Every structure is written in structure tokens, then in C-alpha cells.
Structure 1
Amino acid sequence: MNIKTISTNKTTEKVTLHIKGINEALANALRRLMIDSVPTMAIEDVEIVQNSSALYDEMLSLRLGLIPLTTDLKYYELPSPEEKESFGAERSAKTSVHLTLNVKGPCNVYAKDLKSKDPKIKPAQPNTLIVKLLKGQELDVNATAVLGRGTEHVKWSAGLCWYTHYPKITINNNKVEDVKNKYPPQIFKNGKVDKDLIIENNLMDAVEGISNDAIKIEYEPDQFLFFIEPWGQLTPKEMFTTALKLFKNQLEELDEKLK
């Protein structure tokens, strides 16, 4: 397997990778592991001491659970099946962290108002609006975030991941001039079609089929473009390397069972 970074968006942290030497089965396995199996932190237990906001307790708990939290995979570990039945303070410090939300109106309550006992575990998108409080309204909430996987609930999913076969692009700029107005402007550089821009912007479908004489796209069977877009709990590198470790562990476990 050979991996090369094609582009990185510093705003969204979305990364595009060029991976050589794998097939569709391995590509899809890595995709599913990144989405469903890479563990992250998310609020699981909520104790509402006071809630006079417009949101029902259940809706408030739901919104808190869906707030992405930055995750430290080096320290925290997944809870055992027995511990999953625990609640709040009963949980281990190695699998969970406690947060509080104590705000009085009038004001907007944001994710950054959640106070964590571990500075490494905090809202990844701090300006996410939770609820608006009017004068006299108040929130007093104790919450517990737990390490989990997306297979259990989407709130533990680390982000999006998708792929396509790597394109082999043939360009005839003389022919492009005849149909230039039919192509997206994002693929042009200094008046000429730039194949790197087609790949970076994932515009293969947008240009394919307009004119094979101008731009012809074929696909490499053992090369893939991987797009990784995290929610903020982990970096794309952490998502990818953790997925590889999980895949290796699964193969070793299967090998042991087959002996």
C-alpha cells in the first residue's frame, strides 16, 4: 500500500488521499472502520438539575449527546460490557469524563459553555448553539462523556469517509476550447484545464462525458482517492491510522481463530 496526500482543507480539516495497491474490498473495509469503529468521546449520561429553557429535558439531552468532543485515544479506553450499564459517577475515569453546564439567562447557550474536568476533552465546535435562554431561565446540567463507537450510535462516529477509483485523465486543451463553457470554472488554471484541480475538487463526474475528445477519464482498478472529513473529535490522520490498527487487530484475531 502506497499513500500520498493530495490536498488538505485547513478550515474543514478535510483530507484527500491517493492510495495505491489495494482493491475495492480493502478500500471499503477502511471506509467502514473509519466511520463506524474508530472510537470517540460523546455525552452518554445526563443529569438535569435545573432546566427552565424552551427545550424538553429529552431534547436537551439529545442535543448535548450530538456535540462532537475532542478525543484523547492515548489515555481513554472503551468501557467493558458490564460498565456500559453504569451511570455517571459510577463509570471509570479511564473510560469517561464529567462535564457541567451551568448558565443563567438571558443569553445564548453554546457548546463552549460546557466545562470539562479534562481539558483535552472539550467541544470540537465551540460555537454550536444549544439553546437560547430568556430572562429568569436557567440550565444546571451534569453530564458524562463516554468513549464509544459509531456502530452503537452515530454520535460516536468520527466523521465522513468515501472513496472513488483514481482517475486517469487525458486532456486536449485545443478541443476544450470548443466546449469550454460546459465545464466547471474550478478546473481551469491560466485558461487551461488542470487535471490536478479536477482531482482536488472531486469533479470527475462533472467533466466526464461532455466530450471525450476534450477530456477523457478512465479509472485505475488498484488506485483510489480517499476523502476523509472529520467532525472534529479526531484528526484525519488519527482516524486513518486507528482504522489501520483496528483492521490489523481483526486480521490477527481471525488468524488465531483459524489455527
Structure 2
Amino acid sequence: MAPVVPSQEELDHRKIININAETVTNISSTDFPGHWPGEDHEWALDKFRRDFRVEFFQNEPYEASFSFIGVDASIANAFRRILIEEIPTLAVEYVFIHLNTSVIQDEVLASRLGLIPLQGSVEGINWMRWFKKPTDDDPQGGSSPSDYNTVVLYLDVECTINPNAAPDEDDPRELYNNAHVYAKDISFLPIGRQEQFFVGEGAIRPVNPDILIAKLRPGQKINMELHCIKGTGADHAKFSPVGTATYRLMPDIKILRPIIGDDAKKFAKCFPGGVIGFETITSEEASQKGSGYEDHAGEQKAVVRNPFNDTVSRECLRHEEFQGKVKLGRVQDHFIFNIESTGQFPSDLLFLESVKVLKLKCARLKRDLSTLMR
């Protein structure tokens, strides 16, 4: 029996999740998403290339926004989870406190330092190896600090009175030297082969130099050594390379019946700015019987301008005058990603790193399957 070939109208219908006033319908209910009984769903590289697209909307150093079109939700979610948990970065793990006479407790100060995002040469971070931590079962089994697994930072700050301060000055930052300790006070000293990678613009340093670490007063001092290692967000959030990594489905707005005049203005207010626009009804449209534009030539009608900006709030479904005139939905295979980098990697490079991780996972799975088949 030849496989069933669905019509283009049916294929378009399957892609849209219906957003109703109180329910969501037309979600995938088959055993395998995207597969339908009696149809041929054999995967082919040419078909994937034809249907798959990536479209960038924003590409800033710390934030990227792009569309990921033509894949299943499981693939999109795999990339999201990899971005959050599995791309290795550098963070402070061990803090050796030589002196801390500030009002902040040692443990709190160490925790604050660990959460400061660091940046440096991506090539150098990829060159570094993993630092194996000792365990309760094997306290002596951990790695020894070396140039290839540990980056050493220093924080040595003492607060003193500023002899040049004005007599009527009341700002502690003017009265004292080093009254505020910032991330820029952290210094880096490359060791061994680190001098080949972490030099110049590639030196290890805080992403934001103005992060406030502590406040000191005359006589108080902080002197500590910070050991940074590679880790992943699955181990601790401080190793996560992203502030947020999210995706949403592309909104779909269809105006089924004409919305004209004051109703069009009210309809536009139900959506974020730029989603709904206006067009003048032409005499040709007004002359077509059954179009809904009869005797409305020259008036304004509502049209969909940019559904990308819509939040699918369903506000328009609350008003009786729009009942049966609009249909809301989301496109199932159109994912709008938004990635905010903490600074160690450029935002667009982060997604490429997630692709590398997924490829390694696939290669590992393929190798294990080959082993099972032997």
C-alpha cells in the first residue's frame, strides 16, 4: 500500500498550535512527534536541509536572538539544556584566605567571589584540562594544581585614610583609599604555559570590573588567593556561561474577518506595539461582495505586521466584537531563542559550542551502539 501524501493545507494546519480563550489545542498527540499513521516519514538529509533555517535578529556580544526553524521541540530543548549546563567555563572554586578583617564573613566573601563571571582567551580555556576534586571515599585522589588545570587570581586590598580629602567631605570613597573593593581589584598572574594563552586581551579578568565585593574602613584588609578551575553548570550555577537561555514558539495571528475603523484601533491595543498595523481599504476591496469591506472604502483596516513581537496574551479574545474574527496560535517548529552570555563567551559563539557538545554526545552514542552490536 502506497503511503498517504498529505496536502499542503494539512501540513500547514499541523504546524499550528491553537491558542484559545482558555485552552490550547492541536498539540502533537502521536506516539512519535511529527509522525502520522500511513505516511512516509523517513528522515532524509536533503529534506532536512530544505526545511531547516536559522535567522538572526540580534547579535550583540552579550545577547543574541535568533530563530531555529524546522526541528522538533526535543532538539531545541536539548540545545537549551546544553547551553545552561554543559558548556565548560572558568570560575573561582577554592579561596585561600590569608587575611580578612572586613565585616564580611570568610564563607560569604568566598561565595561572592565564586559568583563573579570571568573572561579570558577562549582558546586558553579550551586548552585547560579538568581539575579532579577529591571525594569523601578518596580524599587523596584529587588533582594537584598545575598550569593546565588551575588559574590563580589574587585579591590584596587595604583601606587607609586619604590625607588629601577635603575637611567637609563625607563620602567614604573620597575620605578613604580602597573604601570599596571592586572586581577590578582582582589581579591575575599567568603561570607556566598560561603565558602562551592568557595574555593581553586574553588575560583572565572579571567580565564587569565594577562588581562590588566588599566595603572597608581604615585598618581593614583583605588578602586572599583564588584558584579557578573549569566546570559546568550541571555542577554549580557559577559555571553556567549564560544568564538566561530561553526559547519560545513563533506566534501566529490570523485575521479571519475584517476589523475596521475604531474596532481596528482597539484591536491593535490588545497587542504589543508593532504587531498590528493599519491599511486603507481600497475601492477594489470595497466593491467585492462578501468581502466585508462593502461601503468602507477609505477607512482603516487592521493587518498583522510583526507577529514576532507578540506575547500571545489572548487579550483580544476577551472582547465580544472580535469573536470569530481572529485566530491565535504558535508555530510548532519555529523556535525563537534568546541567549544572554555572562561574558566568558560571545553570545553567538555559545550556540556553536552547544552544537559541538551535542555532536560529541552523538558520537559517543554511536560508538556505544557499535559496541553493543558486536
Same fold (TM over 0.5): yes
Tell whether 2:150 aligns with 1:150: no
Structure 1 unmatched ranges of 5 or more: none
- Alignment check: 8 A CA contact 1:5 1:18 kept: yes
Change (3 A) 1:80 1:144: closer
Q: Give the letter aligned to residue 21 of structure 1.
A: G
TM-score, structure 1 normalization = 0.85
Tell whether 2:249 aligns with 1:165: yes
Aligned residues: 252
- The structure 1 residue matched to 2:312, chosen from 201, 204, 217, is 204
The answer for the alignment partner of 1:113 in structure 2 is 185
The answer for the alignment partner of 1:93 in structure 2 is 147
Change (3 A) 1:153 1:206: farther
Tell whether 2:223 aligns with 1:223: no
Change (3 A) 1:78 1:193: farther
TM-score, structure 2 normalization = 0.60
Change (3 A) 1:208 1:221: farther
* Deviation of 1:126 (Å): 1.4
Please say which structure displays the higher CA radius of gyration.
2
Q: Distance in 1 between matches of 2:123 and 2:310?
A: 34
Secondary structure of the residue aligned to 1:135 is coil
* Deviation of 1:243 (Å): 0.5
Change (3 A) 1:195 1:44: farther
Q: Per residue, is there more strand in 1 or in 2?
A: 1
Tell whether 2:78 aligns with 1:29: yes
Q: Give the letter aligned to residue 204 of structure 1.
A: V
Q: Which has the higher contact order (CA 8 A, sep 6+)?
A: 1
Q: Deviations over 1:174-200 (max 9, x none)?
A: 44313444444465779987743x52x
- Alignment check: 8 A CA contact 1:19 1:224 kept: yes
* Deviation of 1:202 (Å): 5.9
Q: Give the letter aligned to residue 57 of structure 2.
A: I
* Range with bigger deviation, 109-118 or 165-174: 165-174
Q: Give the letter aligned to residue 230 of structure 1.
A: S
* Deviation of 1:138 (Å): 0.9
The answer for the alignment partner of 1:139 in structure 2 is 222
* Range with bigger deviation, 46-55 or 114-123: 114-123
Q: Deviations over 1:30-59 (max 9, x none)?
A: 000000001111001111111111111111
* Deviation of 1:220 (Å): 1.7
Tell whether 2:151 aligns with 1:102: no
